[in-house]
Amino acid sequence: MTYEMIITETHGSVAQITLNRPRALNALCDQLMTELAAALRAADADPAIGAIILTGSPRAFAAGADIKEMQDKTYPDTALDDFIGRNWEVVTTIRKPVIAAVAGYALGGGCELAMMCDMIIAADTAQFGQPEINLGVIPGAGGTQRLTRAIGKSKAMDMILTGRMMDATEAERAGLVSRIIPAADLLTEAHKIAGTIAALSPVAVTIAKRSVNRAFETTLAEGIAYERATFLALFGTPHQREGMTAFIEKRKPDFA
């Protein structure tokens, strides 16, 4: 597939996908989301790739779903054409870790897309928000659920009911992002994190990601049972032998 609205590149075992529709602040139109879904699936299927970075421009990760494209939609259109389900949730089906590297605006669907990733690292310029209420609608790609789980009810209500933006400092304090990075270093730092993950045991990484995600889907007892079973299953892998042997032999493990 040829991409017009995203740029894909590979640095060693890390895939980087850059949203590239600068004139519209990376508004997430159907074509962009179709391309993004294809690129994510391709990176997930490539055995040489161990982690994926999703980023935008210095001005905007993404300023939301494309309002111009949505303006004239009617309910029958939306019922017949599953325009959200078709592409929007693909990032949540990817087995490899996906890191959102956010600079500038991450609003509406842009914030929701970032929250579907496994972690968000933010430039000090990042601004997060769910401003849909200003458009007479509500978040439609998971915002009311994922933001509430990430930052708690009171702050999520504050964001979603007023439509206000949250800067990087507030987002980190609230637990929405894992780190704040000076804007100029955002991608370097994202690649360091992704490269670290990509050098680890891919089996352990996939299972660790799955297990953390279980925390959002099940009870504590079920989640812990899942963790225990998968932890024990890893003792059947050569990477467990290598990791523990390397520690005892005081050398770096080789998970290649």
Comparing CB distances to ligand CO8, the nearer of 132 and 172 is 132
Strands (DSSP E) found in the chain: 6-11, 14-19, 51-55, 60-62, 98-102, 105-107, 119-123, 127-129, 165-167, 179-181
Retrieve residue 66's tokens.
Answer: 């494309």
What is the pattern of x (binds ligand CO8, CB under 6 A) and - over residues 33-72? Answer: ------------------------------xxxxxx----
For residue 132, the minimal CB distance to ligand CO8 (Å) is 5
Phi, psi of 24 (to 5 degrees): -110, 20
Q: Is residue 69 flagged as an active site residue?
A: no
Q: Is residue 108 flagged as an active site residue?
A: no
Could you tell me how many residues make up the chain?
256
Which range binds ligand CO8 by CB under 6 A, 21-29, 95-103, 176-184, 228-236? 21-29
Question: Which residue in 165, 168, 53 sits closest to 122, CA to CA?
Answer: 168
Question: Which residue in 50, 37, 20 sits closest to 198, CA to CA?
Answer: 50
- Amino acid present at 157: M
Comparing CB distances to ligand CO8, the nearer of 67 and 203 is 67
Supply the DSSP symbol for 135.
G
Show contacts with ligand CO8 in window 70-99 (CB under 6 A): 83-84, 88
What is the pattern of x (binds ligand CO8, CB under 6 A) and - over residues 99-128? Answer: ------x-xxx-------------------
Q: Of the listed 132, 150, 168, 194, which one is catalytic? A: 132
Binding residues (CB under 6 A) for ligand CO8: these are 24-25, 27, 63-68, 83-84, 88, 105, 107-109, 131-132, 135, 139-141
